[in-house]
Amino acid sequence: MSRNSHVVPEAREALDKFKMEAASEVGVNLKNGYNGDLTSKQAGSVGGQMVKSMIKSYEQNMK
């Protein structure tokens, strides 16, 4: 299985939307498609925001 394949291919659209929302929250301007012009710091802040949101959601669902 390739590294970029998804277990549920239909989830790709939702993941892209989630990524765009996270980028907006941290002030990073993502484009649809290629974003190789981002700095490591910008890309990391988007990923970090996504993880933060997932943890928050998980913790809320545990209650």
Confidence of residue 45 (pLDDT cuts 50, 70, 90): very high
Rounded mean pLDDT of 19-41? Answer: 94
- Residue 50 structural domain: 9-62
Residue 34 domain flag: yes
pTM of the predicted model as reported, rounded to 2 decimal places: 0.79
The pair of three-digit structure tokens given for residue 6, joined into one six-digit string:
């998804």
Q: What is the pLDDT of residues 11-22, one digit of tens each?
A: 888 999 999 999
Residue 4 domain flag: no
User: Domain count of the chain?
Assistant: 1
Nearest alpha carbon to residue 34 among 21, 43, 45, 44: 43
Residue 38 domain flag: yes
Residue 21 domain flag: yes
Q: Which residue has the higher pLDDT, 13 or 50?
A: 50
